[in-house]
Amino acid sequence: MGGNKYAAVAFGGLFEMLAAFILFTTLNLLGRKFHCFAGFIFAGSCIFLSTIVHNDFQIIKMLCISLGRMAIATVYGVLYVWTPELYPTSIRMTAVGLCSMMARIGGVMASYVFLWIADIYPKIVASSISMVCIFTGILILLLPDTNGQPQPETIHEVEILSKTKRKMFLFGWNVGQKRQTAARKIDINDNVDIKF
């Protein structure tokens, strides 16, 4: 990142605290999918912008990287709320643990790969990170938004949730689809029938 290392760490910590505050105040209002989509796109844009800013403007470069870091911190917080909501009760903790493990493996691999590339082409590292962020933001749109929905208890409910074409959930409204409510009937064998 260049510049003063202490200022960079202070900026990063300040922006991550701001990210936690933003997430706390707007998560249920804007929805999980919107937070992840906007966070990844914003982070990718900020990181890419930091590659094209001239080295004479270190403050602007540090600001771009810190804003990107803030967006990623927001997404990271959302994913720990959203991931358990996507899986049924029987496999919820296993799924969260598996997703967390894959994130750690990806983080370790990325640091080694990008350190190796940074020796050869330094600007490629930030550009490739920004492209991965933007691509991931687009892929997030394929997942269902679980904001305001009951957590699934069976695999059958997850299949129904994945087939519902919910678009963005903004300001308490389901954009692009009429709201549907599910009436549950649970028998003694835990067979769940969902009627719309």
One pLDDT digit (tens) per residue for the chain, 196 residues: 556 778 778 877 888 899 899 889 998 888 899 999 999 999 999 999 988 988 888 888 888 888 998 999 999 999 989 999 888 888 999 999 999 999 899 889 888 888 888 788 877 888 888 999 999 999 999 888 888 888 888 888 888 877 765 555 554 444 444 444 444 444 444 555 555 4
Residues 93 and 190 in one domain: no
Distance from C-alpha of 43 to C-alpha of 133, rounded to nearest angstrom: 7
In the chain, the number of structural domains is 2
Residues 134 and 182 in one domain: no
Task: Note the pTM of the prediction, 2 decimals.
Answer: 0.76
Residues 38 and 133 in one domain: yes
Residues 174 and 80 in one domain: no
Residues 64 and 111 in one domain: yes
Distance from C-alpha of 122 to C-alpha of 114, rounded to nearest angstrom: 9
Other Cβ atoms less than 10 A from the Cβ of 182: the count is 15
Residues 38 and 117 in one domain: yes
**Pair 171, 29: CB distance under 8 Å:** yes
Asked whether residue 24 is domain-assigned, the answer is yes
Asked whether residue 147 is domain-assigned, the answer is no
**Pair 88, 10: CB distance under 8 Å:** no
Residues 77 and 120 in one domain: yes
**Pair 76, 155: CB distance under 8 Å:** no
Which tokens sit at 13? 């910590």
Which tokens sit at 114? 């990008």
Which range marks the domain in which residue 85 is found?
A: 5-140
Residues 55 and 121 in one domain: yes
